[in-house]
Amino acid sequence: MPKLFSFFVFLIFSCPLFSQEIVDYIGIPEVNFGETKLVLAESSQKSKTLYIQDYIPEDSRLEDAPYTISIYFFNKNIDAKEATYQKTGELDTRQETDKHCSYNVTENPNGTEFIVDFFTSNIAKKKEKDEPEPEQEMADYNIYRFRNVLLGEESAFMIITYKQNNIGDTKYFIKSVGKSRNKLMENIITMTIPNVTLKK
């Protein structure tokens, strides 16, 4: 389990920088989310085994897109179930301090894919004495789809993520997402991802 920690550090702290040339490292230039076409907006190779590609609805800009779909591709064998436990453990810890942190876990019938969808915010669960309120409420809704895949004949691992940010009334945001959650989950579950072809 400790071996999994490093790639979640990448998920939390990776911050892509602007680049004029967007490199398609994994041979997936676009994806479909429901009926919406998304195009590659940012990419990076974080290590010898980790590639990250971010997609946004076409005609959007990365800085103000309504949501982002990302693919984290690991050219190594990581068990999807163990990775899911690692993520929920991280969220369990966050729930101790984040008032609005909550999550759900969904597993496909044959136990080969797992989905964790969750809220996080900057609202403290228990405010310390004299601790100021945040100047602006911020929250996000995420869906992580964990799946084992093949790269040729070798085992690999992929996380497909959906992220929607909100600035403002967190309670209203959570209520609004709740109305569309089933459709968002359906879209992420039914997403067809082409076979990965690494750039040489």
97 is a domain residue: yes
The total number of structural domains in the chain stands at 1
Per-residue pLDDT at 199: 85
CA geometry: angle 108, 111, 112, nearest 5 deg: 90
pTM attached to this predicted model: 0.87
Amino acid at 105: V
Sheet of 154-167: strands edge to edge? 30-33, 36-45, 50-57, 68-74, 154-167, 138-151, 113-121, 102-107
Average pLDDT, consecutive stretches of 10 residues, N- to C-terminus, the chain (200 residues): 52 48 95 96 96 96 93 96 97 97 94 95 82 85 96 95 96 97 96 91
197 within some domain: no
Q: 3-state class of 139 per DSSP?
A: strand
Domain membership of residue 58 (yes or no) is yes
Cα-based distances in Å from 122 to 37, 78, 161, 166, 168? 31, 31, 20, 11, 11
Look at residues 38, 166, 185, 189 and name the one whose alpha carbon lies nearest to residue 109.
189
195 belongs to a structural domain: no
Q: What is the pLDDT of residue 20?
A: 61
Q: Which domain holds residue 116?
A: 2-189
116 domain-assigned: yes
177 in a domain, yes or no? yes
CATH of the domain at 24: 3.40.1000
The verdict on residue 57 lying in a domain is yes
Residue 200 lies in a domain: no
43-to-11, 17, 76, 98, 179 alpha-carbon distances in Å: 13, 9, 19, 30, 31
pLDDT of residue 16: 46
